[in-house]
Structure 1
């Protein structure tokens, strides 16, 4: 095993993985995707946002009920930091490199640690996106029983998004930083030698690879042969249903947010033109100059506030939604591997039972090995599921709180701008009344004759 420390799975209540893996688990052939396995879930209903626990609930009728269902409680903050951290990584300082062959961006990876697996306490290296992609592939190959955090999507549509723009690079840098922090905080993935090489090697030789003695996942080859699972265990069925439901909700939120951003962009275009009309009008209207300039100033303030709100939505809100869409795909991939492992075990067990009945032979050792592999998958998946749920609650707590703050700030700025215009109009009205009084002729009543 390449775990390096008995930290994993402590939060899930499971035994350490070293106590579960059968001694023969590391002697099989390398992992291959294997054939597709059909899983009979037995239920197709959408059970809502229930963290994988099937309960019958209706859609939230109010914002408060939604927050309650997401469990955004302050006491959850302690759960995410309960594990002792001794590895800190940061992704920053993007730099553009231009050569005759290609143009690309590199990012600085800064590492601070007290672990004995590292020769030095501090490291600083530069990596490009494909290096991060290499790391994730290596982690997925060597630790297939664990949930590997997703990377931001690699490809962008040419002509639609400039991948060298400051906004795009900043958004990608934040996503890469989050990916690396999640890996470094994981009690098993953080001890992977590939991560060590990624954080410390000045020149990352991806072609050479590393000779590793990895855990059970890399040494397993699934030979289910199209075997159909009798039934996925209820808890994993509930997980799958939750992921499908959550994915649908995220997709709807993403589409609506995109439409809102498009409408805000069109609104901003009209609002800028609207404000410029008042500015040009004020230049030729001496009597109304101050009120017209006040309207133009208020409109301009609203434009800037709307720009900030849209920028926050596109750079902070949308990336989190897309990250969790990719996270769901990663979780489903791990669950498919677990199902393949279970299918292999069931297939071999049935064959062994038939042979035992016919030939009266003992259950072969490879059946016990397959059972141990299933237990490994189950233990690791449960631990990562709980960790993912904690991270999700924290991320969405920050996301929704930030969205509320940004919207409040937007409306406060707009309100303040228009209130200042009222003050200008009142001053103008008082000034006009004063001038009118001064211009009125003095009126003297005629004498009264008796």
Structure 2
């Protein structure tokens, strides 16, 4: 995974955290000079009309999802070994991490007022911001939602990972079923891991409280009282952007295209799952018919029982394939659909800040004075634009890296599961051949 360099951004009167003298710490001041961590050699220049990407097509090439190296799927072992190797390569980054978070052990709570699920959030860290090296707290979905809202308020220039959708259609999905709870647990776990891996979001004070506070409800109330008025509202009204810079226009175009592709794949995948589920029900009824038939066919008893067993094995293999597609494939697609919405929201905020800056700068230029002084609010607005550009470009690179890794693992896993499915079906049908051959040989000898 390519490393991402976050440049120095200076934002006046913004509710952004800044590093203290101790590594990894942030402080809040009226005027902030924010120095973001620089783990890698990749440089990101401040965006201006001179250094905007000269060729949008060149940028678009880097945004296209690569096909990757050819995968040898001639055998189950080759696919499985590749999947294991990919997971091993991804785990190598863990050697440099200092914050590990997991979501586990969902529990159902029933009270007179409501029924809800809580999850245990376990944290291991060596950071000095935490008083203890390990924490274990229980959180419910609304706590995760509170955290994401706080991250969005306090870090408006950054892309906040999405949460799984809160509401489900009643009567269609049982939100207390084991399958639904496990799918949501995986999504919440991925959300926290993405925040923990982010070089800026992981140091947010709200994230610290979420991981360590025993009574988060009390902390939420205090935060609401103390932070009123401190958040900088980047969403402005009355300003219209003339033209989005080429680089960010290419991002917007790619997101629109990516949304269409994800939506199409999701709809088709759901239809496939529905058809597979219907076929599975028929297949389960199909096998017992042969078994019932064999009870009064003495000469065909063994072959018919063999067909019945073959159908049973094939139905079990299809059930596993359908479950894997529902529990592993679809959630990734839906996560990235939500990710796209988050990215579009950040782009809109960036556009609004730039529009505000252009409007204020134009007002200064058209003054009657020949050399009008640049007001401080215009300079602050310019700083906000530059900070937005730098943070958004860095988070875009990080999102692209995560996307390549996620879809590489997703498609490799899908190939692996399909190979397993067809190998099981092949083995089931091949086991039937000797029974038919033995029957033919026996008939030949008697004749």
Per the normalisation by structure 2, the TM-score is 0.81
Q: Which of 210, 232, 248 is equivalent to 1:219?
A: 232
Q: Distance in 1 between matches of 2:262 and 2:377?
A: 42
Match status 1:385 vs 2:391: no
How far residue 222 of structure 1 moved from its aligned partner, in angstroms, is 4.7
1:115-162 CA distance string (max 9 Å, x none): 000000010001111110111011111101000000001111111101
2:441 matched residue in structure 1: 430
SS state of the match for residue 53, structure 1? helix
Identify the match of residue 7 of structure 2 among 11, 15, 39: 15
User: Residues of 1 paired with 2:396 and 2:123: CA distance?
Assistant: 27
Q: Of 317, 326, 338, which aligns to 1:326? A: 338
Q: Is the 8 A contact 1:77 1:394 kept in 2?
A: no
Please name the residue that 1:54 is paired with: 60
Structure 1 equivalent of residue 375 of structure 2: 364
Query: What residue in structure 2 maps to residue 127 of structure 1?
Result: 139
Matched, 1:209 2:223: yes
CA distance in 2, matches of 1:281, 1:238: 64
The within-5 A match list for 1:271-290 is 271-290=283-302
Whether the 8 Å CA contact 2:150–2:206 is kept in 1: the answer is yes
Distance 1:235 1:361 in 2: 31
Q: Which residue of 2 aligns with 1:314?
A: 326
Tell me the C-alpha RMSD between the 2 structures. 3.0
Structure 1: segments with no counterpart, 5+ residues: 1-9, 29-46, 438-450
| Contact 2:159-2:342 at 8 Å conserved across structures | yes
The Cα of 1:340 is off from its aligned counterpart by 0.6
* Map of 1:291 onto structure 2: 303
Tell me the secondary structure at the aligned position of residue 173 of structure 1. Answer: helix
Which residue among 144, 151, 173 is the counterpart of 1:139?
151
Q: Bigger shift: 398-407 or 281-290?
A: 281-290
Distance 2:381 2:182 in 1: 45
Deviation at 1:203, TM superposition (A): 1.4
Q: What CA distance in whole angstroms lies between the structure 2 residues aligned with 1:340 and 1:79? A: 39
CA distance, structure 2, for counterparts of residue 156 and residue 407 of structure 1: 29
| CA–CA distance in structure 2, aligned partners of residues 67 and 392 of structure 1 | 13
Structure 2 residue runs of 5 or longer lacking an equivalent are 16-29, 32-54, 71-82
Q: Which has the larger radius of gyration?
A: 1
2:169 equivalent in structure 1? 157
**TM-score computed with the length of structure 1 as normaliser:** 0.81
1:236 aligns with 2:245: no
**Could you give the per-residue CA deviations for residues 89-131 of structure 1, whole angstroms, max 9, x where no partner exists?**
0001111111111111111100000000000001000111111
Give how far 1:230 is off: 2.1
Once residues 418 and 75 of structure 1 are traced to their aligned partners in structure 2, the CA distance between those partners, rounded to angstroms, is 33
Distance in 1 separating the partners of 2:382 and 2:362: 13
Equivalent residue number for residue 448 of structure 1: none
